[in-house]
Chain A
Amino acid sequence: MASVEHIDGTGPSGEDGVRRRDFINIAAVSFAGVGAVAVVLPLIDQMNPSADVLALATSPVDLSAIQPGQAIKTTFRSQPLFVRQLTPKEIAEADKVDASTLRDPQTLEERTVDGKKQWLVTMGVCTHLGCVPLGAGEGENRGEYGGYFCPCHGSSYDTAARIRKGPAPKNLEVPKFSFTSDTAILVG
């Protein structure tokens, strides 16, 4: 095979005109390409949340100390989380509204767990630009709809934390959560 006419590395052509060298070239480059992709994947994946961050992806919340009408501010995935026990009056106010007329139509039932309508669990992150709304703390401005009020650009949320007025496009997000007992929930 090492004849003089092939010393330039072209190799013999097959009957279909494909040289063996072409096959080797394509195979080598393809294999190196697969290898390169295999190396890039972990380089990209290392930027995803690490195990210790993901370990905080669920947060237990104790509800026993929250009286009707009170709310607490805690954190879920390093972001503020509001947990409120609604009073019957607040529930009535939320139910009174025709959900279909709202900017982000949802009823209080859809935003709470069956049979535990008084427990309103939402993210404390305004859906406009991510500010933390007021209203969870004692004596804070709760806005004209009696829920939460964002001081940044004046978004008002009602007693079901639904957007009613101002620039925010969506209701305060309700994270996935479940009751682990009558007085405790697990968020996430």
Chain B
Amino acid sequence: MSFPWAEQYTPKNPLTQWIDEKLPLPRLVYNAVGAGYPVPRNLNYFWNFGVLAGLALVIQIVTGVIMAMHYGANDLVAFTTVEQTMRDVNAGWLMRYAHANGASFFFIVVYLHIFRGLYFGSYKAPREMVWLLGLVIFLLMMATAFMGYVLPWGQMSYWGAKVITGLFGAIPVVGEPIQTWLLGGFAPGNASLNRFFSLHFLLPFVIAGVIILHIWALHIPGSNNPTGVEVKGPQDTVPFHPYYTAKDGFGAGIFLIAFSILLFFAPNFLGHPDNYIEANPLSTPAHIVPEWYFWPFYAILRAFTVDFLFIPAKLLGVLAMFASILLLFFLPWLDTSPVRSGKYRPTFNKFFWILCLDVVILGWLGGAPAEEPYVMMSQVAAAYYFAHFLIILPLISRFEKPLPLPGSITEAVLAKYGKTDGATVAVPAE
């Protein structure tokens, strides 16, 4: 699970020795995120976002468990208890705003974490399982976030639940029974609210479990790095602690500053005013949109307006939306280039940035009203998204001539600082 030169855990005092014999948990921690885990010495700040995502999950669990202490999961009182939490509960406003904006920040850092993986080829062998488990976490996050948004039982909660469960209704024959089964009724109601609350409480702990698998799978080959060149010897690594605990700690400080700015100065910036109106099944908000982190997928869903080969447009949209995420599970086998890092792949690099732009545009379109010219633009952007992964990427992998790779991580680091001798002394990361 680690490199042979990793430092060994040697408990000094009798108490830690006694614990190590009975339950070697400190040893596990030492080897996983302590001095016993050697990490490439050249990781840049993009490697902070895994730890930051973990921090965001902790914030969500802590604020969420507290929110649950003041929440009534019943359609008659849900809206009121959330407002009571905001107005009457001591620091309730802080808990709720931290929880709502914490979800946004969780997605921000996870999207940057995915961006890092895509650019530096972290999904490639031997780290495919890390990538696949990461996608599972992403899907669980989306389900959790969706159900959490229903709980305040505002207008957007209600109509969001109706539209999203309606997606399953688009499936032929079994669709409507599935929708009724998911909701526990013919429309969102008390049964839906209760089950969403139960699952919203459960899923974060499932996520925490999959994160453990994600880290376990990562620690077998060890972290990727900006060069994409594998670790060759002790001179290429530094111990996780203190080098990356310090670097991640600095990143966590920046994260918390950014989080606080939104939390304390614009807590409703990412929300919808409609959600401060209690759910009303007889009146629709004029403009139903999901939370911003679903917008790219929502744009793909709405891009299909014409039936094709007897498949209704609505079903095509649903299939395309699910496919846009499921597609990523095949990424390690669609990108066959042996070079990992985008730094050394000139053609990939250009198309990668076009893809990033495409996803940002999809995000913007997903938040826009469903009218022209947005619909047409969504169609073009959605088509490009699929083309990138299914056509462009496999072709680049086949024909691209990558730039020469550095001989080792150390060579790349020393070249950056104008030194050419292959010193084996482990210096701190840049």
**Is the beta-carbon distance between A50 and B191 smaller than 8 angstroms?**
yes
Q: Does B189 contact A (CB under 8 A)?
A: yes
**Is the beta-carbon distance between A152 and B166 smaller than 8 angstroms?**
no
**Is the beta-carbon distance between A80 and B282 smaller than 8 angstroms?**
yes
Known interface pairs A48-B181, A130-B166; A73-B282 also in contact (CB < 8 Å)? yes
**21 interchain pairs (CB within 8 A)?**
A49-B180, A53-B189, A53-B191, A75-B282, A77-B186, A79-B186, A80-B281, A80-B282, A130-B162, A131-B159, A151-B284, A151-B286, A152-B286, A152-B288, A152-B370, A153-B370, A153-B371, A154-B371, A167-B305, A169-B312, A169-B314
**Is the beta-carbon distance between B282 and A49 smaller than 8 angstroms?**
no
**Is the beta-carbon distance between B288 and A78 smaller than 8 angstroms?**
no
**Is the beta-carbon distance between B370 and A167 smaller than 8 angstroms?**
yes
Which residues from chain B sit less than 8 Å from chain A, CB to CB?
159, 162-163, 166, 180-182, 184-187, 189, 191, 195, 281-284, 286-288, 305, 312-314, 369-371
Known interface pairs A153-B371, A169-B313; A131-B288 also in contact (CB < 8 Å)? yes
Nearest B residue to A45 via CB reads: B181
Q: Write out, one digit per residue, whether chain A residues 44-57 have a CB within 8 A of any chain B CB (1) or not (0).
A: 10011110010001
Within 8 Å CB of A124, what residues of B?
A: 282
**Is the beta-carbon distance between A50 and B187 smaller than 8 angstroms?**
no
**Is the beta-carbon distance between B184 and A132 smaller than 8 angstroms?**
no
Cβ distance B307 to chain A, nearest Cβ, rounded Å:
8
Within 8 Å CB of B185, what residues of A?
A: 49, 53, 77-78
Q: A48-B184, A50-B184 are in contact. List 20 more A-B contacts (CB 8 A).
A: A47-B182, A47-B184, A53-B185, A53-B189, A73-B282, A75-B282, A77-B187, A78-B185, A78-B189, A79-B281, A129-B166, A129-B288, A131-B159, A131-B284, A131-B288, A132-B282, A132-B283, A151-B284, A152-B287, A169-B312
Within 8 Å CB of A131, what residues of B?
A: 159, 284, 288
Q: Write out, one digit per residue, whether chain A residues 145-156 have a CB within 8 A of any chain B CB (1) or not (0).
A: 000000111100
Q: Write out, one digit per residue, whether chain A residues 122-139 have a CB within 8 A of any chain B CB (1) or not (0).
A: 001000011110000000
A152 partner, pick from B180, B281, B284, B313, beta carbons under 8 A: B284
Please measure, in the bound complex, the distance between the C-alpha atom of A184 and the C-alpha atom of B374, giving whole angstroms. Answer: 46
Cβ distance A141 to chain B, nearest Cβ, rounded Å:
13
**Is the beta-carbon distance between B288 and A49 smaller than 8 angstroms?**
no
Nearest B residue to A54 via CB reads: B185
Please measure, in the bound complex, the distance between the C-alpha atom of A53 and the C-alpha atom of B188, giving whole angstroms. Answer: 11
Within 8 Å CB of B371, what residues of A?
A: 153-154
Within 8 Å CB of B195, what residues of A?
A: 47
**Is the beta-carbon distance between A48 and B187 smaller than 8 angstroms?**
no
Please measure, in the bound complex, the distance between the C-alpha atom of A152 and the C-alpha atom of B314, giving whole angstroms. Answer: 16
Please measure, in the bound complex, the distance between the C-alpha atom of A73 and the C-alpha atom of B369, giving whole angstroms. Answer: 27
Cβ distance B165 to chain A, nearest Cβ, rounded Å:
10
**Is the beta-carbon distance between B288 and A79 smaller than 8 angstroms?**
no
Cβ distance B168 to chain A, nearest Cβ, rounded Å:
13
**Is the beta-carbon distance between B189 and A129 smaller than 8 angstroms?**
no
Question: Which of the listed residues B186, B191, B284, B312 has the most CB atoms from chain A within 10 Å of its own CB?
Answer: B284
Please measure, in the bound complex, the distance between the C-alpha atom of A44 and the C-alpha atom of B184, giving whole angstroms. Answer: 11
Please measure, in the bound complex, the distance between the C-alpha atom of A48 and the C-alpha atom of B186, giving whole angstroms. Answer: 10
A132 partner, pick from B163, B284, B305, beta carbons under 8 A: B284
Within 8 Å CB of A151, what residues of B?
A: 284, 286
Nearest A residue to B371 via CB reads: A153
Within 8 Å CB of A57, what residues of B?
A: 186
Cβ distance B177 to chain A, nearest Cβ, rounded Å:
9
Known interface pairs A153-B371, A169-B314; A49-B186 also in contact (CB < 8 Å)? yes
Cβ distance A127 to chain B, nearest Cβ, rounded Å:
9
Within 8 Å CB of A75, what residues of B?
A: 281-282
Nearest A residue to B166 via CB reads: A130
Cβ distance B277 to chain A, nearest Cβ, rounded Å:
14
**Is the beta-carbon distance between B184 and A130 smaller than 8 angstroms?**
no
Nearest A residue to B280 via CB reads: A132
Within 8 Å CB of A80, what residues of B?
A: 281-282
Please measure, in the bound complex, the distance between the C-alpha atom of A114 and the C-alpha atom of B430, giving whole angstroms. Answer: 83
Cβ distance B406 to chain A, nearest Cβ, rounded Å:
53
Cβ distance A140 to chain B, nearest Cβ, rounded Å:
12
Please measure, in the bound complex, the distance between the C-alpha atom of A49 and the C-alpha atom of B305, giving whole angstroms. Answer: 32
Question: Which of the listed residues B191, B195, B286, B287 has the most CB atoms from chain A within 10 Å of its own CB?
Answer: B191
Within 8 Å CB of B189, what residues of A?
A: 53, 78
Please measure, in the bound complex, the distance between the C-alpha atom of A44 and the C-alpha atom of B182, giving whole angstroms. Answer: 10
Within 8 Å CB of A49, what residues of B?
A: 180, 184-186, 191
Please measure, in the bound complex, the distance between the C-alpha atom of A169 and the C-alpha atom of B283, giving whole angstroms. Answer: 21
Please measure, in the bound complex, the distance between the C-alpha atom of A44 and the C-alpha atom of B181, giving whole angstroms. Answer: 9
Please measure, in the bound complex, the distance between the C-alpha atom of A167 and the C-alpha atom of B283, giving whole angstroms. Answer: 19
Please measure, in the bound complex, the distance between the C-alpha atom of A80 and the C-alpha atom of B281, giving whole angstroms. Answer: 7
Nearest B residue to A153 via CB reads: B370
Nearest A residue to B189 via CB reads: A78
**Is the beta-carbon distance between A78 and B286 smaller than 8 angstroms?**
no
Within 8 Å CB of A169, what residues of B?
A: 312-314
